[in-house]
Structure 1
Amino acid sequence: MPHPSVLRQPAVPFRTLVLADDPAILTAARMASNAAGDMAPLFVASGREALRQLFRADDRPARLICQPSTAGESWPALMATARDPFAPTGLVLVREQQRPPAETAGLVSVPPEVKALTRALRTLSAWPPQIPTDDPHELALGLARGEIAVRYQPVLNLGDRRPVLLEGLARWQRRDDTPLSPDLFVPLAERHGLSRALAQAVALVAFTEMAPRAARLGSQISLNLPLELMLEPETLGWLRRLLASTRFPPGALVLELTETTPVRDRAALRRALRHFGAAGHAVLIDDMGLDDDRAALLELPFAGIKLDRHLVSAMPRSRRARALVQRLVARAHARRMSVTAEGVSSAALWRAAAMAGVDRVQGYAISRPLPGPALPAWAAAHSLPPRLAPGGAGARQRRRA
């Protein structure tokens, strides 16, 4: 009997992305997709365009039929994106005459025949279940075994769409390959004294993965810290040691104060912010919400605030939400702080953020959280004509994720 809290994707028809240029493969893929009961497939002829489709968060293809020779130089990023266990895409390779590219071990590979492709599509499981745990010992073992992974969500300047920040988000891939999102284990860490170990694990992974990429992407990396770690004198020390050991540039690290614990000692937090600032680390207030009593924190030397996605999503229909955002923006700008709108998943929310004077945007309209190896390809795809220009025809046709 399955665990009662297993989270499953609803049983809906899948959309299949077909990356191919061989007419025989295109025909077989169309017929196989129809036979498997999928939605009408989406056909692309370049690895770069396939990546753009996989980077999407809403309406993202759940399956990919790939003729490997058409992927070109996008092959490594394509594999990293499609095989990401935290946003998986069922992947089927179509065998060709030439030698297949590297990293095909363990992948489904079939001849370009309708029956073989249909069988492959029917057996794919694109959305593995997430089975939560309430056992802190299991999490402690996972931390010790190096099971923590990081995914990165881009943040753009609203005005010129330039990437300025990548938020590092914790993920847990347990030894049995079960992937867990942060809401299923971060509270467990905070309840059982594992916050420091978790933060150190996330920082080590992020610094190691991003040290060779940070300068090329032109973006800073932000990591979340709870209040207890912000106030611990030891935090700056272990951050410095990890930065030095991984050669990650200290000036590229931004910290975000999470909202789980109320601030009772503002003087202590002020001192901590000054210490982080002196070390070159800007600190943001994360998830400022509609009924948030943390607005008083704007009097402290933070570098910016991030508006909670629920507050942002309420702006188009709520006068109260719009008025609150405008007040927060005015107060933040008066203190030379940046304002980031989280959860921007549609053109309507983009426009609402722009009208409120927000500086930066983050959300599914820009990209879902991505594995590190896919980020350079995302940056290259992002430089193409945007598919979500605020007010454009493509934007009006998208649904909010």
Structure 2
Amino acid sequence: MSASSVMEMEQTHEVIIPRATWETALRRLLVSPGRWATGRIRTHKTADSMEWLVDQLELAEEFPDGRTRLSRANWIVVGMLTDDERSPEEILNRMLLQATQQVVVLLFHQTERGRWSGIVHRNGTLFPMDGVRVIGSGMLHLQRNPVAIPDVPDDGRWSRTIGGLAPSLWQRTRSAHVLLIGCGRNGTMAAWQLAGLGVHRLTLVDPDKLAIENIEAMPGLEFNDIGKPKTAILGQQLLKQNPDLMLRCFAYPVSDILDRLKARYDLIVTCVDDDVPRLGASWLARELLIPHIDVGSSVQRSETGETTLAGDVRMLLPHEGCIQCVGGLADREQTMYEFAAPPGSLHRGVPVEWNQQRAGSLVHLNSMTVGIGVELWLRLLRGEIGSYWQRLTVRSRAEFELTGAAVGAGEQCEFCRDVQVVE
């Protein structure tokens, strides 16, 4: 192999890696530039890119040798450049790879911040690495050939929003692709707030149809919309105000269509009252390394008539907390069974009526709770927070209580506790 054999293709190649894995490896490579970080990689193909997903890295003193790996191994090598002489192609040539191995090589410069290069060896052919996405606080995206940032429009439409966010943050929300699961009361609020921030690509998922109780809580609905899919009607309303919105709608349970949700989403949002779609979203976020925000709200009334309004928002990053270990599942065994059941399967157990779990739902509470979730996402983009759990409580004749804290993976969580950098 040689540098001249590197092929330029329309399909791009990107590494996706959790920030905790990324930072730990780079810190140790900086102080020991002669060492290497290696690990297994998974692949995920989208319509226009091949993603190389990294969960774990190990640090090694010895130079990586392809002969010590399985013939069909997919793995990554990360090193620190100390001079201009070494290139990813040269590293590959020294690794004695087997033809059937798929390997990514990333090199970072020890003294020049932001300087990097990468290459992919796939099926005996070399491809340039086009980008590295670091999933975590700040959502860093390194690009070989940076894509032009969308221009700030001068027609005045977005002037107030851009003024509130600052142009750089608005451009990031504008280019984001958000997967929204649940298009009821909270989900509708989330869709409108995200679109109002300029989000240009939305994918909506909800198997339910509109009912009479949705009318007063979902802006723009008409009585003749009752009985129609929530995703279709919400999508129509969004497009009336945002005709350039790129929109996809799925009127199916999320657990039935996980294999169809193949895009690179920048964020997954769940606004559901069932742990099965929550778990489905959490699984998808874990598999594809995507931030996940779960939004829930409820009105509770005690036997004495005291009313409590509650909002619950969890910002969860891959390997740094999930639905199972932060907050937990109401019935883990039942949820796992339902999630694993084939599409169209009958549910086991007795259906739970909505009013067995809460007294009702209020538009203003939904709006506040969703707004907290949106603000957590903006703080993630600004690099201010990582995984975070924020709760709102409003009791009768009492002050508002807003409590929040950073969270991490549970010690025994099988979804989260498989990422590390090993000495």
- Provide the TM-score with structure 2 as the length reference: 0.25
Greater helix proportion = 1
- Provide the TM-score with structure 1 as the length reference: 0.26
Larger Rg: 2
